[in-house]
Structure 1
């Protein structure tokens, strides 16, 4: 990435001192609760902004170390560098992403060097993940000297979504514009509807347009969430042969009789069960291979090792047995699963 102007390290209120130093109010003092909380909040915001700048600089440092290692043709040096500083790879790349976002906004002219002082750490990260239009609006507020919090960024993002998304009917956008409907109800709806095919988007949009109120928005958001859940899961379930089951018609019927939520959960559970069965079979095969290896490598001189193999036998046979609950518990039960031999054609 091209080098960008650096953020200033000054985070003080008057811009004349770059040392993090302030007084915390005495909890036993004479301040009123309101004044105490106000001073504490100011101190916390200063720390938050200091945290943000520290993480941006750490991200730049990590990026430099990583790029230096890349130039040398290897990545192990970078991982060792992280290990020496008790940093995980995911933490390191999160900081690098933060630094990249900061430098990109500087290069794009969205921020000046000292504008970062107006952000809390979480607000800056929220801004970096927002659309360019929201970044522009937030940056303008920061340049005016306004303190930017995560709540304000989310509110601006919700407002932009409400006013710009084609998935929101015009009647609803008008109500959002005059504050009849809070914009916070629209962003989740758009997020879920974006996951759906155009036909389902059109159906839900019509439903919202017919009853443009908060209850309908909540209901349709829930429907969109379960629709996307159903569509994503149904394509992964091997038991659902498209030549036998018409998934689209089954979905329409679930919508018609009002059991979409249960149907989506049922299909999602089927996906998990098939995946669990595959993992179980793989683990069972691996366990049998390991048990045979241990049996061959051991002998009469290892009675406890043979006892261990004997105790594990119920998990290695074709009839797997697993006990649920304590032996002396009235709720105890034994689960038995049978693994059938593979068919000759591998089916």
Structure 2
């Protein structure tokens, strides 16, 4: 069985500041705690990688010989008191570790030079950044999350084909900070080519820090707008051009309002879907109880009559005292998709 030599946690001694006695300012106090936390993460990292490998073995065995639904894997997680989200995060960590180790990029003994967050950040970086980080770690250098992000930003800012040539050049000449330029490349990568080109043209005349920040913010809003629009059923209508609408909203400086409108619309659609599911379920239960009850259960019948305000095709819901005691009347009419008329807009 393969083993990894780890530092012995029993020998771990940390010099923690005394919250009552140490004469440290807030920055020094937090720096001391951050240093101690990073040391603890190094012990946890090796352990979590192996936990991820264990979970991966259980999951893969279940895939090959289980019932096809992962029941055995989920049962094991319940017995070990591990959430599904946590389990897959550990498996992802193990996958990242194996990719770095098997590829020969990183020596397995060099894991001790990473904190958990810096290791995960490295695994998510480009191969070129991974190589630079691994070479440093293999030499025994401590790797922080800030180191990984700095190198990743520098590489992206100097090489990304999504950025205008002038901005890449100015970054290489240290005239623009990579931490400002890299987010622009990240946001542009989420957009269609035509929108990318429009934003790049905006920067041609003024490739300065403030312009880059402004275009990055615009790209972020456009990306959010596109994501929201794709999931909205109300916008799945032939003839709608959401990209053009987004460009128009950007031109009149109303992108934020458009994204907010999409977000609220998505919230309404989700709420209606949940409402419909609950309404159908309540209707079925109400009908069952009504059939089972009778003259011998007058109080139960009274309760069921009260629930009819919610289980029928027309619902009456009190909005409560905060809305002045107003009531909302909703009517649910179920129709086939080919019978549903477009909504009427009252001007």
TM-score scaled to structure 2, two decimals?
Answer: 0.84
- Mapped to 2, the partners of 1:343 and 1:278 lie a distance apart of 15
Superposition RMSD on alpha carbons, in Å?
Answer: 3.1
Q: Is the 8 A contact 1:25 1:36 kept in 2?
A: no
Give the corresponding residue for 1:105.
100
Question: Structure 1's 173 and 318: CA in aligned 2 closer, same or farther, altered over 3 A?
Answer: same
Structure 1 residues not aligned, in runs of 5+? 11-16
Q: State the shift of 1:281 in Å.
A: 3.0
Give the corresponding residue for 1:95.
90
- Mapped to 2, the partners of 1:343 and 1:25 lie a distance apart of 67
- Mapped to 1, the partners of 2:23 and 2:161 lie a distance apart of 50
Q: Is the 8 A contact 1:229 1:268 kept in 2?
A: no
Of the candidates 7, 13, 32, which is equivalent to residue 22 of structure 1?
Answer: 13
Q: State the shift of 1:36 in Å.
A: 7.7
- Mapped to 2, the partners of 1:333 and 1:263 lie a distance apart of 29
Give the secondary structure class of the aligned counterpart of 1:320: strand
Of the candidates 310, 314, 319, which is equivalent to residue 324 of structure 1?
Answer: 319
Q: How many residues align?
A: 336
- Mapped to 2, the partners of 1:247 and 1:221 lie a distance apart of 20
Q: State the shift of 1:95 in Å.
A: 1.2
More helix by share: 2
Tell me: higher relative CO, structure 1 or 2? Use CA pairs within 8 A at least 6 residues apart.
1
Question: Structure 1's 235 and 123: CA in aligned 2 closer, same or farther, altered over 3 A?
Answer: closer
The worse-fitting range, judged by mean Cα deviation, of 255-264 and 106-115 is 255-264
For residues 297-345 of structure 1, give each alpha carbon's deviation from its aligned partner in whole angstroms, at most 9, with x where no partner exists.
222333343233222222123332222233xx57432222222464796
Q: Is the 8 A contact 1:189 1:220 kept in 2?
A: yes
Of the candidates 6, 21, 32, which is equivalent to residue 9 of structure 1?
Answer: 6
Structure 2 residues not aligned, in runs of 5+? 341-347
Of the candidates 331, 337, 341, which is equivalent to residue 330 of structure 2?
Answer: 337
Q: State the shift of 1:198 in Å.
A: 0.7
- Mapped to 2, the partners of 1:280 and 1:30 lie a distance apart of 57
- Mapped to 1, the partners of 2:100 and 2:154 lie a distance apart of 21
Give the corresponding residue for 1:176.
171
- Mapped to 2, the partners of 1:41 and 1:344 lie a distance apart of 57
For residues 20-71 of structure 1, give each alpha carbon's deviation from its aligned partner in whole angstroms, at most 9, with x where no partner exists.
4225357389976489877655543321100111111212222333344455
Give the corresponding residue for 1:13.
none
Q: State the shift of 1:87 in Å.
A: 0.9
Of the candidates 23, 42, 47, which is equivalent to residue 54 of structure 1?
Answer: 47
The worse-fitting range, judged by mean Cα deviation, of 155-164 and 228-237 is 228-237
- Mapped to 1, the partners of 2:81 and 2:71 lie a distance apart of 15
Q: State the shift of 1:266 in Å.
A: 2.0
Q: State the shift of 1:207 in Å.
A: 0.9
The worse-fitting range, judged by mean Cα deviation, of 56-65 and 98-107 is 56-65
Matched, 1:300 2:291: no
- Mapped to 1, the partners of 2:197 and 2:110 lie a distance apart of 42
Question: Structure 1's 173 and 6: CA in aligned 2 closer, same or farther, altered over 3 A?
Answer: farther
The worse-fitting range, judged by mean Cα deviation, of 182-191 and 240-249 is 240-249
- Mapped to 1, the partners of 2:172 and 2:335 lie a distance apart of 63
- Mapped to 1, the partners of 2:32 and 2:265 lie a distance apart of 54
Give the corresponding residue for 1:136.
131
Q: State the shift of 1:204 in Å.
A: 0.4
Q: Is the 8 A contact 2:53 2:91 kept in 1?
A: yes
Q: Is the 8 A contact 2:16 2:36 kept in 1?
A: no
Give the secondary structure class of the aligned counterpart of 1:336: strand
The within-5 A match list for 1:255-334 is: 255-326=250-321, 331-334=324-327
Q: Is the 8 A contact 1:320 1:338 kept in 2?
A: yes
Give the corresponding residue for 1:14.
none
